[in-house]
Structure 1
Amino acid sequence: MKPSSDPSSGQKPDHASLQQAAEWYARLSADPHDEAVGAAWRRWHGQSAAHRQAWQYVERVSRRFAALQGEGDTAARTLRAARRTDTSRRQALRTLGVLSGGALLGWLGWRATPLPQLLMAWQADYRTATGEVRDVLLADGTHLWLNGATALDADYRPERRRLRLFAGEVLIETAAEARPFVVDTAQGSLRALGTRFSVTQQDGFTRLALFEGAVEVRAVDGGATCIVRAGEQLRFDRRGIGTREPVLAARQAWTQGILVAGDIPLAEFVEELSRHHQGYLGVAPEVAGLRVMGTYPLHDSEQVLAMLESALPIRIQRPLPWWTSIDARQ
């Protein structure tokens, strides 16, 4: 499937084109009046549709970034300072994180989330900022833990209990009572059968991890259903349900500020880390399948990236203070 030309569609252009676009954006921001750079950028931009799509994507993310700052010139000064030294780049990252307030809106913006979904998340009953973990006790005694950059609504009525997950990940420990307990995502619904489980809304699919009890999963299109039991996890999209796989109890460790990787692909690890990282975080296809193991501190994503770089054949690139790319080491 080819990437969409509309960055708001949720589909991203290829990693290489995105990285080039981010680097061009940094060069043009550093000196917008350099005619030679401008001419070279125009040549690059006109070479292919992939380049134009990538440029649109980076522009869209940068506009959402600027909107978060309130002061465009402050962001611009910070961006220019970030290219001077490694030390100033790290300081710029911290500054930009403060400017954005760590908002959920910012994380959704990095992902080029469609505007309607972004607005629903921003207005949700419960939400967390990038890097924040929050626990909530609902009226019936159900306990929720919200991972970073998570948003959901709670709709409690005499005949049922229902959550709507717009973004992020929630760990749920349901209270035992007669009313059904249902979680809705963009891909379907999950009915708890007395249980402890986590639900993650990701790009184009939902992930369920079950630690106690059982959950009935129903895909929104086609009506495919299945029962998932303790110790199992799976993914499903709107059309169908994937294969069950074992889940580790340590998968819940993020509630304690720890990210445990039990021999998972780097791309999956980065997906989870991105909820605790200020700005865009991408991974090149050639290293996306590298296996990651170990325990990592969620409170410091920069330290986590440094740990990955020392253990894997990768390099971390930051052409912009809010744009981080994981590529193959050369």
Structure 2
Amino acid sequence: MSRKPDHAALQQAAQWYARLSADPADQATRVAWQQWHGQHEMHRLAWQYVERVSQRFASLQDDSVTAAQTLRSARRAGISRRQTLRSLTLLAGGSLLGWIGWRVTPLPQLWMAWRADYHTGTGEIRDLMLADGTHLWLNSASALNVDYRADVRQLRLLTGEILIDTAHEARPFIVATAQGRLRALGTRFSVTQQDGHTLLAVFDGAVEVRTAGSAATHIVQAGRQLRFDNQAIGPEAPAQQTREAWTQGMLLVNDIPLAEFIEELNRYRHGYLGVSPQIAGLRVMGTYPLHDTEQILSMLESALPIRIQRTLPWWTSIEAR
């Protein structure tokens, strides 16, 4: 049996969590919940998942409150700006670990992400200029190390996504991921570190892919994209414009399944966002503002036969209307 809870079990678990939280002293509700919890292993897995998300959400709220208290205390005590920023940076690290990590990221990778040269929190997009003039954008919940040497310019993407507009010079430009190495051939391209594989999309020039395990190679030209893992390079497809549009704060999609759209949107939101299998195949297209994911959900609800169900402040699901 799959160890991943299905949508129905997750929704039931969230509803039980809401009922128990609303009235913890209601013994009849607790007895009914215990009966539900013991009926099936899937119910127990779903409950554990809901509890885990709840704990992360509570941690994030605590960090936000503590950050505000830190600022107020610093003003009253006259603490230096540097000391205040150091305290807030530690808090931001907790949020980064919580919200990059609660889904799938192993703890060692989370620690590397927090210590990375550049990283972003959930919903944050950074625009950077590197020492050689390379223009770099770092997407939501991403982390990157930079290693420029006399003979090579190398970036290591630890998690998330980057878009790169490389500066032209003699030193090779390399991007390393968990699955292999990408060598830019004078180009603009995006790299996404996904679960078990890397997604490359090329918008200008070309990029050479080399897998870490088999050393298989392939050159991807402008307008194309592909995925690869440690051993194999997948087939090419047209480059998706959404892999570039996020740098402008937009989520641009063209006729993709709703489930795929929600998976992408999840990268920019705190908490859980799920979609019922009944409507997962509905097609989505259009341009959506990443600065307001609630507005995106409202846009979807007005255009598709769906309804947005908010069971808890940190638990949202998309159901059939």
Q: Which runs of 5+ in 1 are unaligned?
A: 5-11, 75-98
Structure number, greater radius of gyration: 2
Report the Cα distance in structure 2 between the residues aligned to 1:268 and 1:141, rounded to whole angstroms. 34
User: Which protein has greater RCO, CA pairs closer than 8 Å, 6+ apart?
Assistant: 1
Matched, 1:57 2:49: yes
Matched, 1:30 2:22: yes
Deviation of 1:248 after TM superposition, in Å, equals 4.5
SS for the counterpart of 1:70 is helix
Aligned partner (choices 190, 196, 212) of residue 198 of structure 1? 190
Report the Cα distance in structure 2 between the residues aligned to 1:244 and 1:41, rounded to whole angstroms. 49
Aligned partner (choices 131, 146, 149) of residue 139 of structure 1? 131
Moved more, 199-208 or 296-305: 199-208
Moved more, 244-253 or 288-297: 244-253
Match runs of 1:5-84 below 5 Å: 12-70=4-62
Report the Cα distance in structure 1 between the residues aligned to 2:281 and 2:177, rounded to whole angstroms. 27
Deviation of 1:198 after TM superposition, in Å, equals 0.7
Report the Cα distance in structure 2 between the residues aligned to 1:287 and 1:203, rounded to whole angstroms. 24
SS for the counterpart of 2:219 is strand
The alpha-carbon distance between structure 1 residues 297 and 62, as it changes in their structure 2 partners (threshold 3 A), is same
Residue 72 (structure 2) aligns with: none
Report the Cα distance in structure 1 between the residues aligned to 2:297 and 2:19, rounded to whole angstroms. 24
Residue 119 (structure 1) aligns with: 111
User: Letter of the aligned partner of 2:276 in structure 1?
Assistant: A
SS for the counterpart of 1:140 is coil
Residue 92 (structure 1) aligns with: none
Is the 8 Å Cα contact of residues 210 and 232 (structure 1) preserved in structure 2? yes
Query: RMSD value over aligned CA atoms?
Result: 2.6
Report the Cα distance in structure 2 between the residues aligned to 1:262 and 1:225, rounded to whole angstroms. 30
1:245-283 C-alpha deviation (Å, 9 max, x unpaired): 112556422111111111122222222222222222222
Is the 8 Å Cα contact of residues 3 and 14 (structure 1) preserved in structure 2? no
SS for the counterpart of 2:47 is helix
Aligned partner (choices 253, 264, 287) of residue 272 of structure 1? 264
Moved more, 115-124 or 296-305: 115-124
Residue 231 (structure 1) aligns with: 223
Residue 210 (structure 1) aligns with: 202
Moved more, 217-226 or 237-246: 217-226
Residue 222 (structure 1) aligns with: 214
Residue 174 (structure 2) aligns with: 182
Is the 8 Å Cα contact of residues 103 and 149 (structure 1) preserved in structure 2? no
SS for the counterpart of 1:295 is strand
* TM-score (normalizing by structure 2): 0.84
Matched, 1:319 2:311: yes
Matched, 1:172 2:155: no
User: Letter of the aligned partner of 1:117 in structure 2?
Assistant: Q
Q: Which runs of 5+ in 2 are unaligned?
A: 67-90
Report the Cα distance in structure 2 between the residues aligned to 1:225 and 1:283, rounded to whole angstroms. 37
The alpha-carbon distance between structure 1 residues 221 and 54, as it changes in their structure 2 partners (threshold 3 A), is farther
Count of residue pairs the alignment pairs up? 297
Is the 8 Å Cα contact of residues 164 and 185 (structure 1) preserved in structure 2? yes
Report the Cα distance in structure 2 between the residues aligned to 1:100 and 1:31, rounded to whole angstroms. 33
Deviation of 1:102 after TM superposition, in Å, equals 11
Deviation of 1:141 after TM superposition, in Å, equals 1.2
Aligned partner (choices 279, 287, 295) of residue 279 of structure 2? 287
Residue 77 (structure 2) aligns with: none
1:173-227 C-alpha deviation (Å, 9 max, x unpaired): 1112222222222333222121100111223332111101111223333333321
The alpha-carbon distance between structure 1 residues 177 and 250, as it changes in their structure 2 partners (threshold 3 A), is same
Residue 80 (structure 1) aligns with: none
Is the 8 Å Cα contact of residues 63 and 95 (structure 2) preserved in structure 1? no
Report the Cα distance in structure 2 between the residues aligned to 1:103 and 1:127, rounded to whole angstroms. 12
Matched, 1:308 2:295: no
Report the Cα distance in structure 2 between the residues aligned to 1:157 and 1:73, rounded to whole angstroms. 42
Aligned partner (choices 214, 223, 237) of residue 245 of structure 1? 237
User: Letter of the aligned partner of 1:280 in structure 2?
Assistant: Y
Report the Cα distance in structure 2 between the residues aligned to 1:31 and 1:261, rounded to whole angstroms. 42
User: Letter of the aligned partner of 2:122 in structure 1?
Assistant: T
